[in-house]
Structure 1
Amino acid sequence: MKLAHLILAHAQPDQLDRLIQALQHPDADFYIHVDRKTDLEAFRNLLKHRNVYFVKKREKVYWGAYSMVQATLNGFEEIIASGVPYGYINLLSGQDYPLKSPDFIHDFLEKQAGTQFMDYLSVMKEWQEAIPRVKKYHLIHYSIPGKYALEKLLNTVLPERKSPEKLTFVGRSQWFTITFEAVKYIVRYLKEHPNVSRFFKMTWGVDELVFQTLLYNSAFKPAMRNDNLRYIDWSEGKASPKTLTVADEALLRSSGKLFARKFNSTTEPEIMDILDAKFLTV
Protein backbone atom coordinates (compact mmCIF):
# COMPACT_ATOMS: atom_id res chain seq x y z
CA MET A 1 0.00 0.00 0.00
CA LYS A 2 1.34 3.39 -1.03
CA LEU A 3 1.26 6.13 1.60
CA ALA A 4 1.62 9.87 0.96
CA HIS A 5 2.77 11.99 3.89
CA LEU A 6 1.64 15.60 3.40
CA ILE A 7 3.74 17.76 5.72
CA LEU A 8 2.99 21.42 6.48
CA ALA A 9 6.21 23.18 7.48
CA HIS A 10 7.44 26.70 8.13
CA ALA A 11 10.74 26.31 10.00
CA GLN A 12 13.45 23.93 11.24
CA PRO A 13 14.44 22.16 7.99
CA ASP A 14 16.87 19.90 9.86
CA GLN A 15 14.08 18.60 12.08
CA LEU A 16 11.90 18.06 9.02
CA ASP A 17 14.74 16.09 7.44
CA ARG A 18 14.87 13.92 10.53
CA LEU A 19 11.11 13.32 10.36
CA ILE A 20 11.37 12.26 6.71
CA GLN A 21 14.22 9.88 7.51
CA ALA A 22 12.24 8.35 10.38
CA LEU A 23 9.29 7.64 8.06
CA GLN A 24 11.26 6.33 5.07
CA HIS A 25 9.68 3.29 3.44
CA PRO A 26 9.69 1.85 -0.11
CA ASP A 27 5.97 2.66 -0.37
CA ALA A 28 6.08 6.17 1.12
CA ASP A 29 6.25 9.54 -0.61
CA PHE A 30 6.55 12.96 1.00
CA TYR A 31 4.81 16.13 -0.19
CA ILE A 32 6.11 19.19 1.63
CA HIS A 33 4.22 22.48 1.78
CA VAL A 34 6.60 25.20 2.95
CA ASP A 35 4.87 28.38 4.11
CA ARG A 36 5.34 31.06 1.43
CA LYS A 37 6.53 33.45 4.16
CA THR A 38 9.56 31.16 4.56
CA ASP A 39 12.60 31.01 2.27
CA LEU A 40 12.35 27.73 0.36
CA GLU A 41 16.13 27.57 -0.16
CA ALA A 42 16.63 26.48 3.44
CA PHE A 43 14.67 23.31 2.62
CA ARG A 44 16.34 22.40 -0.69
CA ASN A 45 18.51 19.78 1.00
CA LEU A 46 15.40 17.63 1.48
CA LEU A 47 15.46 16.83 -2.22
CA LYS A 48 18.35 14.46 -1.53
CA HIS A 49 15.60 11.97 -0.71
CA ARG A 50 14.29 10.20 -3.80
CA ASN A 51 10.67 10.46 -2.66
CA VAL A 52 10.35 14.10 -1.54
CA TYR A 53 8.33 16.63 -3.53
CA PHE A 54 7.68 20.27 -2.73
CA VAL A 55 4.10 21.45 -3.15
CA LYS A 56 4.47 24.01 -5.92
CA LYS A 57 1.48 26.20 -5.06
CA ARG A 58 2.51 27.67 -1.73
CA GLU A 59 0.35 29.70 0.64
CA LYS A 60 1.22 32.34 3.20
CA VAL A 61 -0.18 30.52 6.20
CA TYR A 62 -1.68 32.42 9.13
CA TRP A 63 -2.89 30.85 12.36
CA GLY A 64 -6.65 30.43 12.51
CA ALA A 65 -7.20 31.44 8.88
CA TYR A 66 -8.39 29.55 5.81
CA SER A 67 -4.84 29.70 4.46
CA MET A 68 -4.03 26.58 6.51
CA VAL A 69 -6.87 24.77 4.76
CA GLN A 70 -5.77 26.08 1.36
CA ALA A 71 -2.21 24.88 1.95
CA THR A 72 -3.59 21.41 2.73
CA LEU A 73 -5.84 21.47 -0.35
CA ASN A 74 -2.90 22.51 -2.53
CA GLY A 75 -1.05 19.46 -1.26
CA PHE A 76 -4.09 17.26 -1.89
CA GLU A 77 -4.37 18.48 -5.46
CA GLU A 78 -0.70 17.83 -6.16
CA ILE A 79 -0.97 14.32 -4.71
CA ILE A 80 -4.01 13.62 -6.89
CA ALA A 81 -2.26 15.03 -9.97
CA SER A 82 0.68 12.65 -9.40
CA GLY A 83 -1.44 9.78 -10.64
CA VAL A 84 -0.03 7.51 -7.94
CA PRO A 85 -2.74 5.25 -6.41
CA TYR A 86 -2.06 6.01 -2.75
CA GLY A 87 -3.98 4.11 -0.11
CA TYR A 88 -3.77 6.80 2.56
CA ILE A 89 -2.84 10.45 2.89
CA ASN A 90 -1.23 11.30 6.24
CA LEU A 91 -1.32 14.98 7.24
CA LEU A 92 1.57 15.98 9.50
CA SER A 93 3.22 19.13 10.74
CA GLY A 94 6.97 19.59 10.61
CA GLN A 95 7.01 19.19 14.41
CA ASP A 96 5.48 15.71 14.46
CA TYR A 97 7.40 12.47 14.92
CA PRO A 98 6.47 8.78 14.65
CA LEU A 99 6.14 6.52 17.66
CA LYS A 100 6.26 3.35 15.57
CA SER A 101 8.43 2.07 12.76
CA PRO A 102 7.50 2.74 9.12
CA ASP A 103 6.81 -0.98 8.64
CA PHE A 104 4.42 -0.99 11.59
CA ILE A 105 2.63 2.14 10.32
CA HIS A 106 2.20 0.78 6.79
CA ASP A 107 1.04 -2.63 8.03
CA PHE A 108 -1.43 -1.02 10.43
CA LEU A 109 -3.01 1.15 7.75
CA GLU A 110 -3.16 -1.69 5.25
CA LYS A 111 -5.10 -3.79 7.76
CA GLN A 112 -7.43 -0.85 8.47
CA ALA A 113 -8.02 -0.07 4.79
CA GLY A 114 -11.02 2.22 4.30
CA THR A 115 -11.04 3.67 7.83
CA GLN A 116 -10.84 7.46 8.22
CA PHE A 117 -8.75 8.44 11.26
CA MET A 118 -9.82 11.87 12.52
CA ASP A 119 -10.67 13.51 15.83
CA TYR A 120 -14.17 14.96 15.81
CA LEU A 121 -16.78 16.24 18.24
CA SER A 122 -20.19 17.72 17.53
CA VAL A 123 -19.89 21.51 17.60
CA MET A 124 -23.47 21.87 18.86
CA LYS A 125 -23.09 19.22 21.58
CA GLU A 126 -19.64 18.21 22.89
CA TRP A 127 -17.63 21.15 21.50
CA GLN A 128 -19.91 24.12 22.10
CA GLU A 129 -17.01 26.53 22.59
CA ALA A 130 -16.59 26.32 18.81
CA ILE A 131 -20.15 27.53 18.08
CA PRO A 132 -19.05 31.19 17.58
CA ARG A 133 -16.63 29.99 14.90
CA VAL A 134 -19.53 28.97 12.66
CA LYS A 135 -22.27 31.33 13.85
CA LYS A 136 -20.34 34.60 13.68
CA TYR A 137 -18.50 36.32 10.83
CA HIS A 138 -14.70 36.17 10.95
CA LEU A 139 -12.55 38.12 8.51
CA ILE A 140 -9.15 36.74 9.55
CA HIS A 141 -8.69 35.27 6.05
CA TYR A 142 -9.04 38.62 4.31
CA SER A 143 -6.40 41.33 3.89
CA ILE A 144 -8.58 44.45 4.03
CA PRO A 145 -8.11 47.67 6.02
CA GLY A 146 -10.13 47.86 9.21
CA LYS A 147 -11.27 44.27 8.91
CA TYR A 148 -11.76 43.74 12.62
CA ALA A 149 -13.95 46.83 12.94
CA LEU A 150 -15.91 45.58 9.94
CA GLU A 151 -16.13 42.13 11.51
CA LYS A 152 -17.61 43.64 14.66
CA LEU A 153 -20.12 45.60 12.60
CA LEU A 154 -21.18 42.54 10.61
CA ASN A 155 -21.79 40.56 13.79
CA THR A 156 -23.81 43.45 15.22
CA VAL A 157 -26.17 44.12 12.31
CA LEU A 158 -26.45 40.75 10.58
CA PRO A 159 -28.22 37.61 11.81
CA GLU A 160 -26.22 34.54 12.81
CA ARG A 161 -24.74 32.61 9.93
CA LYS A 162 -26.57 29.52 8.72
CA SER A 163 -24.90 26.25 7.84
CA PRO A 164 -24.39 25.92 4.08
CA GLU A 165 -25.93 22.83 2.48
CA LYS A 166 -27.36 22.01 5.94
CA LEU A 167 -23.99 20.63 7.02
CA THR A 168 -23.66 19.28 10.55
CA PHE A 169 -20.48 20.76 12.01
CA VAL A 170 -17.92 18.52 13.68
CA GLY A 171 -14.24 18.95 14.33
CA ARG A 172 -11.31 19.08 16.70
CA SER A 173 -7.67 18.35 15.78
CA GLN A 174 -6.62 19.36 12.27
CA TRP A 175 -4.18 16.42 11.87
CA PHE A 176 -5.50 13.19 10.39
CA THR A 177 -4.89 10.09 8.29
CA ILE A 178 -7.55 9.49 5.63
CA THR A 179 -7.95 7.46 2.47
CA PHE A 180 -7.10 8.71 -0.99
CA GLU A 181 -10.78 8.37 -1.96
CA ALA A 182 -11.76 10.65 0.93
CA VAL A 183 -9.17 13.21 -0.15
CA LYS A 184 -10.49 13.20 -3.70
CA TYR A 185 -14.03 13.61 -2.38
CA ILE A 186 -13.05 16.65 -0.27
CA VAL A 187 -11.33 18.39 -3.18
CA ARG A 188 -14.20 17.66 -5.55
CA TYR A 189 -16.88 18.73 -3.05
CA LEU A 190 -15.32 22.13 -2.38
CA LYS A 191 -14.96 22.79 -6.11
CA GLU A 192 -18.59 21.84 -6.73
CA HIS A 193 -19.89 23.84 -3.74
CA PRO A 194 -18.23 27.29 -3.79
CA ASN A 195 -20.80 28.50 -1.25
CA VAL A 196 -19.28 26.07 1.27
CA SER A 197 -15.78 27.36 0.56
CA ARG A 198 -17.00 30.94 1.01
CA PHE A 199 -18.61 30.02 4.33
CA PHE A 200 -15.49 28.40 5.69
CA LYS A 201 -13.33 31.33 4.58
CA MET A 202 -15.29 33.38 7.15
CA THR A 203 -14.76 30.79 9.88
CA TRP A 204 -12.07 31.14 12.54
CA GLY A 205 -9.93 28.05 13.20
CA VAL A 206 -11.46 26.43 10.14
CA ASP A 207 -8.61 23.92 9.76
CA GLU A 208 -10.06 22.13 12.79
CA LEU A 209 -13.52 21.90 11.24
CA VAL A 210 -13.73 21.68 7.49
CA PHE A 211 -12.27 18.25 6.70
CA GLN A 212 -14.11 16.39 9.45
CA THR A 213 -17.36 18.18 8.63
CA LEU A 214 -17.24 17.30 4.94
CA LEU A 215 -16.61 13.60 5.58
CA TYR A 216 -19.13 13.43 8.45
CA ASN A 217 -21.84 14.68 6.09
CA SER A 218 -20.96 12.20 3.36
CA ALA A 219 -21.03 8.50 2.60
CA PHE A 220 -17.66 8.29 4.39
CA LYS A 221 -19.26 8.89 7.81
CA PRO A 222 -19.64 5.19 8.79
CA ALA A 223 -15.91 4.68 8.16
CA MET A 224 -14.82 7.56 10.41
CA ARG A 225 -13.01 6.45 13.57
CA ASN A 226 -12.83 9.11 16.25
CA ASP A 227 -9.06 8.77 16.64
CA ASN A 228 -6.43 10.64 14.65
CA LEU A 229 -3.66 8.25 15.79
CA ARG A 230 -1.72 11.08 17.42
CA TYR A 231 -0.57 11.79 20.98
CA ILE A 232 -0.87 15.52 21.71
CA ASP A 233 -0.51 17.05 25.18
CA TRP A 234 -2.67 20.14 25.81
CA SER A 235 -2.12 20.10 29.58
CA GLU A 236 -0.38 23.48 29.65
CA GLY A 237 -3.58 25.21 28.58
CA LYS A 238 -1.88 27.24 25.86
CA ALA A 239 -2.85 27.94 22.25
CA SER A 240 -0.37 25.31 21.07
CA PRO A 241 0.42 21.91 22.62
CA LYS A 242 3.25 21.14 25.00
CA THR A 243 6.69 20.49 23.55
CA LEU A 244 7.44 16.88 24.48
CA THR A 245 10.57 15.93 26.42
CA VAL A 246 12.22 12.85 27.93
CA ALA A 247 9.83 13.25 30.88
CA ASP A 248 7.02 12.20 28.51
CA GLU A 249 8.59 8.89 27.48
CA ALA A 250 6.29 6.71 29.60
CA LEU A 251 3.17 8.46 28.32
CA LEU A 252 4.33 8.15 24.73
CA ARG A 253 5.14 4.49 25.25
CA SER A 254 1.67 3.71 26.65
CA SER A 255 -0.31 5.96 24.27
CA GLY A 256 -0.92 3.34 21.60
CA LYS A 257 -0.62 6.08 18.96
CA LEU A 258 1.37 6.07 15.73
CA PHE A 259 2.55 9.70 15.92
CA ALA A 260 3.00 12.48 18.45
CA ARG A 261 3.47 16.23 18.49
CA LYS A 262 5.05 18.50 19.09
CA PHE A 263 8.83 18.13 19.22
CA ASN A 264 11.78 20.50 19.03
CA SER A 265 15.03 18.95 17.86
CA THR A 266 16.99 22.08 18.83
CA THR A 267 15.95 22.35 22.47
CA GLU A 268 14.78 18.79 23.24
CA PRO A 269 16.53 16.34 20.88
CA GLU A 270 16.92 13.62 23.50
CA ILE A 271 13.29 12.46 23.33
CA MET A 272 13.60 12.01 19.57
CA ASP A 273 16.76 9.94 20.11
CA ILE A 274 14.84 7.74 22.53
CA LEU A 275 12.03 7.27 20.00
CA ASP A 276 14.52 6.28 17.32
CA ALA A 277 16.16 3.73 19.60
CA LYS A 278 13.18 2.22 21.39
CA PHE A 279 10.03 2.72 19.36
CA LEU A 280 10.88 2.92 15.69
CA THR A 281 12.36 -0.56 15.80
CA VAL A 282 8.98 -2.15 16.62
Structure 2
Amino acid sequence: MVMFSVSHGELFRNGESIRISTNFLPSRHAPDHGVDLTYIPHHHDFFELVVILDGEGFHHIGETAHSVFRGDVFIIPPSVPHHFQASHLRLVNVMFRGNVLEPYEHELRQLPGFTALFTLEPRERLEGRRKGHLKLSGSRLEEVERLIHHLIREENSRAPGHSIMAAGLFFQLLTVLAREYQRLSTPEAHRILTISSVISALESQYPRRWTIKELCVRANLSPSTLRRHFIRAVGMPPLRYLAYLRVEKACELLTQTDLTMLEIAEKVGFQDSNYFARQFRRYKGLSPREFRRITRRGVSTRAP
Protein backbone atom coordinates (compact mmCIF):
# COMPACT_ATOMS: atom_id res chain seq x y z
CA MET A 1 0.00 0.00 0.00
CA VAL A 2 1.30 3.45 -0.95
CA MET A 3 1.67 5.77 2.05
CA PHE A 4 1.70 9.49 1.35
CA SER A 5 3.48 11.97 3.61
CA VAL A 6 2.35 15.57 4.09
CA SER A 7 4.53 18.17 5.79
CA HIS A 8 3.42 21.45 7.29
CA GLY A 9 5.41 23.22 4.59
CA GLU A 10 3.04 21.89 1.94
CA LEU A 11 -0.08 22.93 3.81
CA PHE A 12 0.42 26.04 5.93
CA ARG A 13 0.81 29.32 4.09
CA ASN A 14 3.01 32.26 5.04
CA GLY A 15 4.11 30.78 8.34
CA GLU A 16 0.56 30.16 9.58
CA SER A 17 -0.01 27.50 12.22
CA ILE A 18 -3.73 26.72 11.75
CA ARG A 19 -5.47 25.44 8.62
CA ILE A 20 -9.05 24.23 8.39
CA SER A 21 -10.97 22.41 5.67
CA THR A 22 -14.33 20.74 5.15
CA ASN A 23 -14.26 17.41 3.35
CA PHE A 24 -16.95 15.31 1.73
CA LEU A 25 -16.51 11.61 1.06
CA PRO A 26 -16.35 10.09 -1.43
CA SER A 27 -13.77 12.71 -2.41
CA ARG A 28 -13.71 14.19 -5.89
CA HIS A 29 -9.95 14.62 -5.78
CA ALA A 30 -7.67 12.34 -7.71
CA PRO A 31 -5.44 10.01 -5.64
CA ASP A 32 -2.32 12.02 -6.51
CA HIS A 33 -3.71 15.25 -5.04
CA GLY A 34 -0.88 17.00 -3.22
CA VAL A 35 -2.60 17.93 0.06
CA ASP A 36 -6.14 16.60 0.45
CA LEU A 37 -5.47 12.92 1.14
CA THR A 38 -8.55 12.35 3.31
CA TYR A 39 -9.40 8.98 1.78
CA ILE A 40 -5.83 7.93 0.90
CA PRO A 41 -3.46 6.34 3.47
CA HIS A 42 -1.14 9.10 4.69
CA HIS A 43 0.56 10.68 7.68
CA HIS A 44 1.74 14.20 8.48
CA ASP A 45 3.98 16.14 10.84
CA PHE A 46 1.22 18.24 12.42
CA PHE A 47 -1.87 17.63 14.56
CA GLU A 48 -5.34 17.15 13.13
CA LEU A 49 -8.60 17.74 15.00
CA VAL A 50 -11.48 15.90 13.31
CA VAL A 51 -15.19 16.63 13.81
CA ILE A 52 -17.69 14.41 11.98
CA LEU A 53 -20.57 16.66 10.89
CA ASP A 54 -22.75 14.17 9.03
CA GLY A 55 -22.93 10.64 7.67
CA GLU A 56 -21.01 7.57 8.77
CA GLY A 57 -18.00 5.58 7.67
CA PHE A 58 -14.70 4.17 8.87
CA HIS A 59 -11.53 5.78 10.10
CA HIS A 60 -8.46 3.61 9.52
CA ILE A 61 -5.67 4.48 11.95
CA GLY A 62 -2.52 2.45 12.26
CA GLU A 63 -3.56 -1.20 12.00
CA THR A 64 -7.13 -0.66 13.24
CA ALA A 65 -10.39 0.69 11.85
CA HIS A 66 -13.11 2.49 13.82
CA SER A 67 -16.63 3.32 12.72
CA VAL A 68 -17.36 7.07 12.84
CA PHE A 69 -20.70 8.87 13.06
CA ARG A 70 -22.11 12.38 13.29
CA GLY A 71 -20.78 14.13 16.39
CA ASP A 72 -17.58 12.11 16.81
CA VAL A 73 -14.55 14.22 17.74
CA PHE A 74 -10.96 13.02 17.93
CA ILE A 75 -7.32 14.08 17.55
CA ILE A 76 -4.85 12.54 15.10
CA PRO A 77 -1.27 13.13 16.36
CA PRO A 78 1.72 13.64 14.06
CA SER A 79 3.26 10.65 12.23
CA VAL A 80 0.20 8.39 12.65
CA PRO A 81 -0.91 6.65 9.41
CA HIS A 82 -4.63 7.08 8.75
CA HIS A 83 -7.39 7.60 6.19
CA PHE A 84 -11.19 7.57 5.92
CA GLN A 85 -13.51 5.26 4.03
CA ALA A 86 -17.20 6.06 3.44
CA SER A 87 -19.95 6.37 0.87
CA HIS A 88 -21.27 9.50 2.59
CA LEU A 89 -19.32 11.43 5.18
CA ARG A 90 -18.95 15.14 5.91
CA LEU A 91 -16.18 16.14 8.25
CA VAL A 92 -14.04 19.07 9.29
CA ASN A 93 -10.25 18.89 9.68
CA VAL A 94 -8.63 21.53 11.85
CA MET A 95 -4.92 21.08 11.18
CA PHE A 96 -2.39 22.81 13.38
CA ARG A 97 1.27 22.80 14.28
CA GLY A 98 2.20 21.97 17.87
CA ASN A 99 3.74 25.40 18.48
CA VAL A 100 0.34 27.08 18.14
CA LEU A 101 -0.54 25.73 21.61
CA GLU A 102 2.40 27.41 23.35
CA PRO A 103 0.69 30.65 24.53
CA TYR A 104 -1.92 28.74 26.56
CA GLU A 105 -0.52 25.22 26.79
CA HIS A 106 0.12 25.50 30.55
CA GLU A 107 -3.51 26.48 31.17
CA LEU A 108 -4.83 23.84 28.77
CA ARG A 109 -2.75 21.12 30.43
CA GLN A 110 -4.53 21.88 33.70
CA LEU A 111 -7.80 20.69 32.13
CA PRO A 112 -8.06 16.88 32.48
CA GLY A 113 -10.35 16.89 29.45
CA PHE A 114 -7.60 18.41 27.31
CA THR A 115 -5.04 15.82 28.36
CA ALA A 116 -7.61 13.08 27.80
CA LEU A 117 -8.57 14.32 24.33
CA PHE A 118 -5.06 15.19 23.12
CA THR A 119 -2.85 12.60 24.76
CA LEU A 120 -4.65 9.56 26.16
CA GLU A 121 -7.65 8.99 23.88
CA PRO A 122 -5.52 9.07 20.68
CA ARG A 123 -3.32 6.34 22.18
CA GLU A 124 -6.40 4.28 23.08
CA ARG A 125 -7.73 4.71 19.54
CA LEU A 126 -4.42 3.69 17.97
CA GLU A 127 -4.41 0.52 20.12
CA GLY A 128 -7.93 -0.41 18.99
CA ARG A 129 -9.91 0.92 21.96
CA ARG A 130 -12.44 3.72 21.50
CA LYS A 131 -15.07 3.48 24.25
CA GLY A 132 -13.75 6.65 25.83
CA HIS A 133 -14.02 8.87 22.76
CA LEU A 134 -15.85 12.21 22.62
CA LYS A 135 -19.24 12.32 20.91
CA LEU A 136 -21.29 15.52 20.65
CA SER A 137 -24.99 15.91 19.97
CA GLY A 138 -27.74 18.53 20.08
CA SER A 139 -26.78 22.02 21.22
CA ARG A 140 -23.22 20.94 22.04
CA LEU A 141 -22.54 19.90 18.46
CA GLU A 142 -24.27 23.05 17.16
CA GLU A 143 -22.00 25.22 19.32
CA VAL A 144 -18.90 23.47 17.98
CA GLU A 145 -20.18 23.78 14.40
CA ARG A 146 -20.71 27.53 14.87
CA LEU A 147 -17.17 27.96 16.17
CA ILE A 148 -15.80 25.98 13.24
CA HIS A 149 -17.76 28.03 10.69
CA HIS A 150 -16.51 31.26 12.29
CA LEU A 151 -12.97 29.90 12.12
CA ILE A 152 -13.39 29.04 8.43
CA ARG A 153 -14.75 32.52 7.67
CA GLU A 154 -11.81 34.20 9.39
CA GLU A 155 -9.31 32.00 7.57
CA ASN A 156 -10.94 32.70 4.20
CA SER A 157 -11.49 36.43 4.77
CA ARG A 158 -7.77 37.35 4.97
CA ALA A 159 -9.06 40.55 6.60
CA PRO A 160 -6.70 42.58 8.81
CA GLY A 161 -6.30 40.78 12.11
CA HIS A 162 -7.77 37.53 10.79
CA SER A 163 -4.95 35.45 12.31
CA ILE A 164 -5.67 36.93 15.77
CA MET A 165 -9.37 36.18 15.44
CA ALA A 166 -8.65 32.66 14.19
CA ALA A 167 -6.31 31.95 17.12
CA GLY A 168 -8.92 33.17 19.60
CA LEU A 169 -11.62 30.97 18.05
CA PHE A 170 -9.22 28.02 17.94
CA PHE A 171 -8.45 28.20 21.67
CA GLN A 172 -12.14 28.67 22.42
CA LEU A 173 -12.86 25.52 20.42
CA LEU A 174 -10.20 23.53 22.29
CA THR A 175 -11.54 24.67 25.67
CA VAL A 176 -15.14 23.81 24.75
CA LEU A 177 -14.07 20.32 23.64
CA ALA A 178 -11.95 19.78 26.78
CA ARG A 179 -14.92 20.72 28.97
CA GLU A 180 -17.20 18.43 26.99
CA TYR A 181 -14.82 15.52 27.46
CA GLN A 182 -14.90 16.11 31.20
CA ARG A 183 -18.70 15.64 31.11
CA LEU A 184 -18.44 12.12 29.67
CA SER A 185 -19.83 9.46 31.99
CA THR A 186 -18.83 6.13 30.40
CA PRO A 187 -16.57 3.85 32.46
CA GLU A 188 -13.75 4.12 29.88
CA ALA A 189 -13.97 7.91 29.79
CA HIS A 190 -13.98 7.99 33.58
CA ARG A 191 -10.81 5.87 33.65
CA ILE A 192 -9.10 8.11 31.10
CA LEU A 193 -10.14 11.28 32.95
CA THR A 194 -8.94 9.87 36.27
CA ILE A 195 -5.45 9.33 34.86
CA SER A 196 -5.67 12.66 33.00
CA SER A 197 -6.28 14.46 36.30
CA VAL A 198 -3.07 12.95 37.71
CA ILE A 199 -1.11 13.84 34.57
CA SER A 200 -2.48 17.40 34.66
CA ALA A 201 -1.40 17.75 38.30
CA LEU A 202 2.11 16.48 37.53
CA GLU A 203 2.48 18.67 34.44
CA SER A 204 1.31 21.85 36.18
CA GLN A 205 3.21 21.21 39.46
CA TYR A 206 6.25 19.22 38.32
CA PRO A 207 8.70 20.80 40.85
CA ARG A 208 6.56 19.58 43.77
CA ARG A 209 7.77 16.55 45.77
CA TRP A 210 4.91 14.24 44.84
CA THR A 211 4.41 10.89 46.55
CA ILE A 212 2.53 7.87 45.27
CA LYS A 213 0.19 8.18 48.26
CA GLU A 214 -0.79 11.73 47.22
CA LEU A 215 -1.40 10.66 43.64
CA CYS A 216 -3.50 7.68 44.77
CA VAL A 217 -5.66 9.97 46.90
CA ARG A 218 -6.15 12.32 43.95
CA ALA A 219 -7.13 9.44 41.67
CA ASN A 220 -8.99 7.47 44.35
CA LEU A 221 -7.10 4.37 43.25
CA SER A 222 -4.83 1.85 44.95
CA PRO A 223 -1.09 2.07 44.14
CA SER A 224 -1.18 -1.06 41.98
CA THR A 225 -4.27 0.10 40.05
CA LEU A 226 -2.85 3.58 39.52
CA ARG A 227 0.42 2.12 38.29
CA ARG A 228 -1.35 -0.27 35.89
CA HIS A 229 -3.61 2.42 34.41
CA PHE A 230 -0.76 4.93 34.20
CA ILE A 231 1.54 2.55 32.34
CA ARG A 232 -1.31 1.72 29.97
CA ALA A 233 -1.90 5.44 29.36
CA VAL A 234 1.62 6.86 28.99
CA GLY A 235 3.95 3.86 28.96
CA MET A 236 5.64 4.42 32.32
CA PRO A 237 4.76 4.60 36.07
CA PRO A 238 3.73 7.95 37.63
CA LEU A 239 6.98 8.94 39.35
CA ARG A 240 9.05 7.95 36.35
CA TYR A 241 6.79 10.14 34.22
CA LEU A 242 7.38 12.97 36.71
CA ALA A 243 11.14 12.57 36.28
CA TYR A 244 10.68 12.61 32.51
CA LEU A 245 8.68 15.86 32.76
CA ARG A 246 11.38 17.44 34.90
CA VAL A 247 14.07 16.48 32.40
CA GLU A 248 12.04 17.99 29.54
CA LYS A 249 11.64 21.24 31.48
CA ALA A 250 15.35 21.18 32.28
CA CYS A 251 16.11 20.96 28.56
CA GLU A 252 14.32 24.27 28.03
CA LEU A 253 16.29 25.94 30.82
CA LEU A 254 19.59 24.52 29.58
CA THR A 255 18.94 25.89 26.13
CA GLN A 256 17.34 29.23 27.00
CA THR A 257 19.09 30.35 30.21
CA ASP A 258 22.54 30.59 31.81
CA LEU A 259 21.42 29.06 35.11
CA THR A 260 23.86 26.68 36.80
CA MET A 261 23.23 22.93 36.94
CA LEU A 262 22.24 23.20 40.62
CA GLU A 263 19.87 26.09 39.95
CA ILE A 264 18.19 24.18 37.11
CA ALA A 265 17.97 21.01 39.19
CA GLU A 266 16.24 22.84 42.02
CA LYS A 267 13.98 24.77 39.66
CA VAL A 268 12.55 21.61 38.06
CA GLY A 269 12.24 19.64 41.29
CA PHE A 270 15.43 17.60 41.68
CA GLN A 271 17.01 17.89 45.11
CA ASP A 272 20.66 17.79 44.03
CA SER A 273 22.64 18.19 40.83
CA ASN A 274 24.12 14.67 40.89
CA TYR A 275 20.69 13.01 40.94
CA PHE A 276 19.56 15.47 38.27
CA ALA A 277 22.53 14.46 36.07
CA ARG A 278 21.75 10.74 36.46
CA GLN A 279 18.10 11.18 35.57
CA PHE A 280 18.97 13.45 32.66
CA ARG A 281 21.36 10.89 31.21
CA ARG A 282 18.73 8.17 31.67
CA TYR A 283 16.27 9.98 29.41
CA LYS A 284 18.56 11.88 27.05
CA GLY A 285 21.63 9.65 26.81
CA LEU A 286 24.05 12.44 27.69
CA SER A 287 24.81 14.78 30.58
CA PRO A 288 23.09 18.16 31.07
CA ARG A 289 26.38 19.94 30.31
CA GLU A 290 26.81 18.03 27.07
CA PHE A 291 23.21 18.78 26.12
CA ARG A 292 23.73 22.51 26.71
CA ARG A 293 26.95 22.53 24.70
CA ILE A 294 25.42 20.65 21.75
CA THR A 295 22.13 22.55 21.58
CA ARG A 296 23.82 25.91 21.82
CA ARG A 297 25.85 24.96 18.79
CA GLY A 298 22.60 24.49 16.93
CA VAL A 299 22.72 20.69 16.86
CA SER A 300 19.53 19.00 18.02
CA THR A 301 19.45 15.95 20.26
CA ARG A 302 16.73 13.39 20.72
CA ALA A 303 15.83 11.12 23.59
CA PRO A 304 16.86 7.48 23.06
TM-score, scaled to structure 1: 0.30
Q: Compare the two structures and name the one with the higher helix fraction.
A: 2
Structure with greater contact order relative to length (CA < 8 Å, sep ≥ 6): 1
Q: Which has the larger radius of gyration?
A: 2
TM-score, scaled to structure 2: 0.28
